[in-house]
Amino acid sequence: MLFVAATWPALSHAQSFSFGARAGANRGTHSTKVANINEGVVQTGFTGGVFARAGLLGWFAQPEIMFSQRNGAFETPNGNFINKLNYIDINLMLGWSLFDIVRVNAGPSFMQLLTAAQEKIGGYNDPGFSKDYFNTSVLGLQFGGGVDLGKFCFDIRYDMTIGDVSSTRARLLTTNPKDYTTGSRQLIFTLGYKIVKLP
């Protein structure tokens, strides 16, 4: 329903409309403000979902529903680990298209947490780790560009959270509660296909 409601105002006056699917990979990290804990190597995740695009005079609105993996590695004195977070993202992108080929766009991303897991790389990880460590809903921002070739579309975007992915108090590598504020940022590469394209 939210997808339809977000698209409807643009659809009612649109010169063009398309609906399709997008899938690809992201490369990103998680940041933290906890002492003695550093960001690890960049991680790869999967993203995929559906989109609709309605255009008028070169401008367009593009709501999306996407599944997104946001993985972040950390290095600590006690060992290294990776936090693996899965989300449903509702993106509301606004943009401009040149000759219906080259696009630039930006907009908010409303992230809803599905699952959270921790993979131990070496040493000691948090035995009490759980989904409860993280905020259920997070606001993000995406911006980037893309190219349309017929029914195919390729996009590159930068994605970042506004605010913290994790709850302000949680346990990290200790049984004692402590501040654990974490942000997420990533580059996203997707290939899409327009199942419906009008005109």
Q: What residues pair up with 149 in beta bridges, in sequence order?
A: 152
Residue 196 lies in a domain: no
- 58, pLDDT greater than 80: yes
pLDDT, residue 181, reads 65
Residue 197 lies in a domain: no
Residue 193 lies in a domain: no
Which distant-in-sequence residues (6+ apart) come within 8 Å of 8 by Cβ?
Answer: none
Residue 164 lies in a domain: yes
pLDDT in tens, 69-124: 999 988 888 778 888 999 999 999 999 999 989 999 999 999 999 999 988 877 66
- 134: tokens are 């993280």
Contact 42, 29 (CB under 8 A): yes
Residue of 110, 24, 114, 100 lying closest to 63 (CA atoms): 110
Q: Which residues of 79-116 are buried (b: 16+ CB within 10 A; e: fewer)?
A: ebbbbbbbbebbbbbebebeeeeebebebebebebeeb
Residue 72 lies in a domain: yes
Contact 56, 15 (CB under 8 A): yes
Residue 157's CATH number: 2.40.160
Residue 191 lies in a domain: no
Residue 10 Rama label (left phi>0; alpha psi -120 to 50; beta): alpha
Tell me which residue range forms the domain holding 155: 2-183
What's the rounded Cα separation, in Å, for the pair 188 and 118?
22
Residue 90 lies in a domain: yes
pLDDT, residue 33, reads 73
pLDDT in tens, 21-43: 999 999 999 887 777 778 889 99
Residue 54 lies in a domain: yes
Contact 100, 76 (CB under 8 A): no
Q: How confident is the model at residue 12 (pLDDT cuts 50, 70, 90)?
A: low
Residue of 126, 127, 131 lying closest to 115 (CA atoms): 131
The per-residue DSSP string of 160-197 comes to EEES-SB-SEE-SSSSS-EE--EEEEEEEEEEEEEEEE
Q: How confident is the model at residue 130 (pLDDT cuts 50, 70, 90)?
A: confident
Which distant-in-sequence residues (6+ apart) come within 8 Å of 150 by Cβ?
Answer: none
Please count the structural domains in the chain.
1
- 8, pLDDT greater than 60: no
What's the rounded Cα separation, in Å, for the pair 97 and 63?
16
pLDDT in tens, 156-188: 999 999 988 887 555 555 555 445 567 899 999
Q: Tell me the pLDDT of the chain averaged across its residues.
A: 86
pLDDT, residue 133, reads 83
Q: What Rg value do the Cα atoms of the chain yield, rounded?
A: 19
pTM for the whole thing? 0.85
